[in-house]
Each structure stands twice: as structure tokens, then as C-alpha cells.
Amino acid sequence: MSPLLTVIVPTLNERPNIRPLLAKLDQALAGVAWEAIFVDDASQDGTPDEVAAVAAERPNVRLIERVGRRGLSSACIEGMLASTAKLVAVIDGDLQHDESILPRMLAAFAADSALDLAIGSRFVPGGGVGEWSAGRLTVSRFASQLGRLVLPVPLADPMSGFFMLRREVARRLAPRLSARGYKILLDLVATAGPGVKLVEIPYTFRDRQAGESKLSSRVVLDYLIMLADRLVGQWVPIRFVLFVAMGMVGLTFHLAVLGLFHVLVGQGFRPAQFIAAGTAMTVNYFLNNAVTYRDQRKQGAALLRGLVVFYLLCSAGLYINLEVAGSAFDKGAAWWFAGTLGALVGALWNFAVNTAFNWRVQA
């Protein structure tokens, strides 16, 4: 028989917290038919082994080990889809979320058959952030303000990672979720639209007792990209927007190198354009690998192989670049305009072929 509640716990290097978390859940959910699904993103500290050992002892503990897939949002989605319970909750594996409010979330669903989401909130009366510094609190509030730009309904704590929803709602929304980054709640509410019904339940955020914080520049970047996707993705694929943005950075290098060799060194325009295009191509490869195709990021030997493939695929784009720029310059266009025109036309080719054949993802 299916449990009433599945608790999804995305993990990355949380081995010391597994058994303490389950003990807290046992206490909070006494008398409730529940299970825990741990979704692990290739932890290196033995987290999967620890969960597997616990699962051998307890029938209400399951493990999903992911290989070649990372990210909290997509981990939560996989966990939700693996559940057969009526309700699914998401809670961090670091013990910072207060599991004692889970019964209040369950009660909210029992009292309102139309409720879609019950959210653990730090920023409603009765909630709190514990021992956060003023700087961290300011950053969190600013991120929340940005998040509200894409939300169809008011939400005091859109950055919360602690919530409960009906599994049928999760299944309905899953195909339309971006699954990017670490803020799955924001993605869920934005996708659900103005008809979503939610309630916020206060809790106080705890300090981490073991393990390491997952907050990094990559997390921040993923969050900003998810917001951009929500704002413009319905009109222009966000990957193309990122490719163009990285191309603009490469264009800056292109024009700087072109000006250096053509204006200062006195090199002929076409040779200078060739050097500038090669420089920009290299810069664009590393930027796109880090940002545009970060979900398919190449590392180690694959990074160097990818650079060679990038050069080969872009060779036709470079030829088009040189011909367009050279033709424009020969017809009297300013060097900077001719260089820009050639670079932009070549970039269209570069995006198409590299998306399809180098990083092998859909545009």
C-alpha cells in the first residue's frame, strides 16, 4: 500500500546527516504512513552507501543514485516522479529545515482539498533565519525580490527549499519545469500560474551542523539563468540568449585584438581579422562551456577535445566571417563595423553546429 507522504531528500555529501535526519522525521511523523526517497548526485563522502545501509534496515527508505545528472531541482523532480504517495515533501539533507512543521503541512492539506502547496517560510510572522549575518540576509531578500518578478502570486519566501505539494500537481507540472538550478519552488509556482493555491507556514532556519554549504557562484548563476528563462524563454530559447551574451564578450576581445593588430601594429585587415577571430573563438568556447552549456560542461581531456571540435565546426563560420567582413571593408565600411558584421554572421553558424554536434543538446 502506498504511503500518504513521500519525503524527498536531495543529497550531495551529506553522509553524517542521514541517520539524524531520519530520526527527526520518525519523531515528527509518528503515526503517519511515510517514506523517504534520497536522491543523490554522485556524493564522494559515502552518502549513497550510508543511505543504502539504512534502506536495508528500513522498508520506508529508498535511494536514487544519479550518474551524469546534477542539480537540486532535477533531483527533486526525479524523486517526486518516483513516489506513489498522495503528497510529496522536499526537505534538505543538512538538518537546516525544521521537520517538526511537516504535521502542520499535512493538516493544511487535510483541511483544504483545493490546496496545491504548503511552504515552509522564514519570512512570515513566526519565521526566522537563525544566526544569519546582516549581509546574508540582505542577499537573500534581494534574491527573493528578483524571484517575485516571475511569480504569478504573492509569496513571502520564494527562495524556500522546504515545502509539500500534491503528487498529482507535481506530475502535471513536471514536463514544463525548467529543472535548472537549485530553486525548485520558484520553478513550480511560476509554472503553476495564477491559479495556484498555497499557504506559507512559519519556521526558523537552523544552522548547519555537519557537511558543507552548497552555495557557490554556480548556484547563483543557475538561479539568474532560471529567472531569465522564465522572463524571456517563451519567446527566445534561453540557451541562444546565453550564447549571444557570451558572443558579445567574445566580440569585445575580437575588436580589441583587431584594433591592436590592424591599427597599432599596422597589420593588413584580413590577417588581423583572422587573428582576432581565432582569439574570440577560443574565448567563446571556454565561456560557453562554463555558462551556455554548463549542464553539459566538458572537463579534463574532454575539454581539450571539445576545443578542437569547436575549432573544426567553426571553421566554416570563420570563413563566412572573413568573407563578410572583408567584403564590407572593401566596400568602404569602417573597420570596426566590418569586423562586427563578420563576427555576428559567423556566430549564427557557430551556435547551430556546436549546439547540435559539440555539446549535443537542443537549442
pLDDT tens column, 21-69: 999 999 999 999 999 999 998 888 899 999 999 999 999 999 999 887 7
> In this structure, are 30 and 174 located in the same domain?
yes
Which domain, by its residues, includes 85? 5-232
**Cell numbers standing for residue 316:** 566554416
In the chain, what percentage of residues exceed pLDDT 70?
94
> In this structure, are 265 and 175 located in the same domain?
no
Over 80: is that where the pLDDT of 222 sits? Answer: no
Q: What is the CATH number of the domain that holds 207?
A: 3.90.550.10
Residue at 85 is within a domain: yes
Boundary (domain end) residue, out of 216, 232, 248:
232
pTM: 0.73
> In this structure, are 199 and 262 located in the same domain?
no
> In this structure, are 41 and 177 located in the same domain?
yes
> In this structure, are 136 and 247 located in the same domain?
no
Q: Once rounded to an integer, what is the mean pLDDT over residues 128-138?
A: 79
| Residues 6+ away with beta carbon under 8 Å from 250 | 280, 281, 283, 284, 287, 343
Residue at 33 is within a domain: yes
Q: Once rounded to an integer, what is the mean pLDDT over residues 282-293?
A: 89
pLDDT digits (tens, 9 = 90+) for 19-34: 999 999 999 999 999 9
pLDDT at residue 233, rounded to an integer? 63
The rounded distance, in Å, linking the Cα atoms of 242 and 229 is: 10
User: What is the maximal distance between C-alpha atoms in the chain?
Assistant: 82
> In this structure, are 285 and 310 located in the same domain?
yes
The rounded distance, in Å, linking the Cα atoms of 213 and 210 is: 9
Boundary (domain end) residue, out of 207, 232, 257:
232
More confident residue, 218 or 300: 300
Local confidence band at 212 (pLDDT 50, 70, 90 cut-offs): low
pLDDT at residue 363, rounded to an integer? 43
DSSP H helices in the chain: 18-28, 47-57, 72-81, 102-111, 134-148, 167-173, 184-192, 217-232, 238-259, 269-290, 301-313, 315-330, 335-353
Strands across the sheet with 61-65, in order?
Answer: 61-65, 34-40, 5-11, 87-90, 163-166, 117-121, 198-202
Boundary (domain end) residue, out of 187, 203, 232:
232
C-beta of residue 307 within 8 angstroms of C-beta of residue 284:
no
The domain total for the chain is 2
